[in-house]
Amino acid sequence: MQRITPLQVYMLFVQFLYATTLGFYVRYLAGEAGFSAVYSVVLGSMIGMILVYLSYRLAVRRPTRFLGEYGREIVGKWVHLPLILLMVFSFVFAAAFVLRELEELIAAFYLKDTPFWAIAALMGICIARAVRSGAETIFRGAQGLFIFGVISSLSIPLWVSRETNGAMAAAFFTHFLPSGLWNSTLLITTLFGEMTMLVFLFPYFSEGRRTMRMLGWATVTSVFITLSGLISILMLFGPDMTANLTVPMLEMIRYARFGSFFQNLDPLLLVFWLYSMFIKISLFMFAAVIGLTHAFGMKDYRPLSTLMTASMVILTLCMVKSGVELDALLKGGALAFLLLTELIPALYLVVDWIRSARTA
Amino acid sequence: MMAIAVLFVCLIYREWRYLKRCNRNPRTIRRVMGIALFLFLSLELLYGFREQWTISRLIETIFGPVQQLITAKK
C-alpha cells in the first residue's frame, strides 16, 4: 500500500483522459458543437474537476481507508450497498463501452474477418492480467509508455499542419452553437469526471495530499493534447466531415505524409494509443473489483479480478446489437447514467459533512 | 452460451483453488462463489436474450428521460 507516487498518478491520468476523448468522441464533439467543441473541452474539464475535487475531499478525510469500507459508517449499510453496487456497475459499464468501441475499431481496420469474440478474448486476457496484478502495476505500466504516447499524440498534428486549411481558424472565434456547446460540455464533464474513481484508489497513493495538484496538472496536460488533436482535425476535415468519419483521429494519422520511409507508421502510433486505452480499461476494472470486494467485507481483491473482467468482456459482446447502437446509447442515456454515478462521492461527502457538523 | 459456462467453470475452479491454498475462511469462499454464480447467471440471461433485450435498453429506459432533461435541443 501507499506505493504509487504523485508522478505516476499524473502520468496515468493524462493518458486516462486524452486517449478516449481524442480516440472516440471527436466525432460526437464535432457533430454536436462544430467549431465550438474547442470551448467545450475547456469548460467540461473545469466542471469535471469540480466533481473530482469533491471526490478528493471525501477521500482525504480518511486517507488510509477505502470507500467500500467506511461508506457504511457515513450513510448506513442499506444505503451504502446499493450506491457502491451502482458505482461498480458504472465502472464495468464504462470499461465495457470503451472496450466495445476499441473492438469495433480493430475489427473494422486491422483484424478484418476475425471473429469478434476472438478480439474480445485477446484483449480480455491482457486486461485480466493487469487487474490481477494490482494498482501498482497498472500505474507503473502507465509510466512506461507515457513519453512515447504523449509525443506521438502531439506529433501527429505537427505532421498534418501543412495540409490544414488556415482560413478555417477564424471560425473558432465566429461560429458559436450554444446548444451544441452545452451538450458537448456535458460529454467532456462526464469523461473528465470519471477521475472521481480516485476515491477507491486513494489508500494506494504515497502522498495523498499532493494528488489533487497532480490531477490538476494531468487535466491541463490532457486538455492541451486533446485541443491540439481536435483543432487539427477540425481544420483538416471541417466539422461536417469530421462528424461523419468513423475515427477522425485515425483518418488524420493516415493523412499525415511521413515520407517514403515512414509510409506505414500508423500502426506504430496506434500501439501507443491502444496501450493508453488498455490502461484506462484496466483502471476502471480495478476500481470496480476493489469496490465490490470491500462492499462485501472482503480484503483480497484477486479472487474477483478475473471473474469480473470475464463478465465485462462478455458484456461488451451483448451490451448492444451493433456498433451503431453505441452512438445512440451515448445520446440516449449513458451520459446521464455516468454523470449521476460520478456525483455519488459528492453525496457521501455532503452526508459526512452534515453528520460531523452535528456531532461536533 | 456453452462457452460462457465452460469459461466460468474454469475460472470458478481456479479461484476456489486459490482461496483454499491461501487458507481463506469459509465465509470469504462462500461470498466469492456467490458473486461468481450471480455473475454467471446474469451473463447467461443477458447473452440468451441479447436479440430481444440488451443492458443498453435498461439504461436508456431509466436514464434516457434524465438525459433528455439535461441536454439542450438544437
Per-residue pLDDT of chain A in tens (360 residues, 90 and over written 9): 678 999 999 999 999 999 889 888 999 999 988 899 999 999 999 999 999 999 999 999 999 999 988 999 999 889 999 999 999 999 999 999 999 999 988 888 888 889 889 999 999 999 999 999 999 999 999 998 899 888 888 888 888 877 788 888 888 888 888 899 999 999 999 999 999 999 999 999 988 778 899 999 999 999 999 999 999 999 999 899 999 988 888 888 877 766 555 556 777 777 888 899 999 999 999 999 999 999 998 989 999 999 999 999 999 998 888 878 888 899 889 999 999 999 999 999 999 999 988 887
How distant is the Cα of B74 from the closest Cα of chain A, in angstroms? Answer: 6
Residues 125-144 of A with CB under 8 A from B: none
Output the nine-digit C-alpha cell for A85. Answer: 453496487
E-strand stretches of chain A: none
Output the nine-digit C-alpha cell for A257. Answer: 505524409
DSSP H/E element including A142: helix A135-144
Across the interface, whether the CB atoms of B39 and A311 are under 8 A apart is answered yes
Across the interface, whether the CB atoms of A300 and B72 are under 8 A apart is answered no
pLDDT at A177: 86
Residue B60 pLDDT greater than 70, yes or no? yes
Model confidence pLDDT, tens digit, residues B19-58? 999 888 899 999 999 999 999 999 999 998 888 888 889 9
Cβ-nearest to B73 among A179, A308, A315? A179
ipTM given for this complex: 0.94
Q: Which residues contact A156 (CB under 8 A, 6 or more apart)?
A: A229, A232, A249, A252, A253, A256, A269
pLDDT at A1: 67
Q: Hey, what long-range contacts does A325-329 have (CB within 8 A, 24 or more apart)? A: A325/B54, A325/B56, A326/A97, A326/A100, A326/A101, A326/A104, A327/A28, A329/A97, A329/B56, A329/B59, A329/B60
Contact, A300 vs A289, CB < 8 A? no
Residues 333-352 of A with CB under 8 A from B: 333-337, 339-340
The residue whose grid cell reads 486524452 is A18
Across the interface, whether the CB atoms of B60 and A292 are under 8 A apart is answered no
pLDDT at A264: 67
The full 3-state SS of A233-270, as one line of letters, equals HHHHHHHHHHHHCCCHHHHHHHHCCCCCCCCCCHHHHH
How distant is the Cα of B36 from the closest Cα of chain A, in angstroms? Answer: 7
Mean pLDDT confidence for B3-16: 93
DSSP A322: S
Q: Is A185 on the interface with B (CB under 8 A)?
A: no
Query: Which amino acid belongs to residue A70?
Result: Y
Measure Cα distances from A6 to A48, A213, B27, B49 in Å. Answer: 20, 9, 37, 45
Output the nine-digit C-alpha cell for A50. Answer: 469540480
By 3-state DSSP, what share of chain B in percent is helix, strand and coil, each rounded to 5?
Answer: 80, 0, 20
pLDDT at A197: 93
| Of residues A125, A108, A47, the one with CA closest to residue A281 | A125
Contact, A184 vs A44, CB < 8 A? yes
Cβ-nearest to B59 among A180, A186, A333? A333
Contact residues on chain B for A331, CB-CB shorter than 8 A? 67, 71
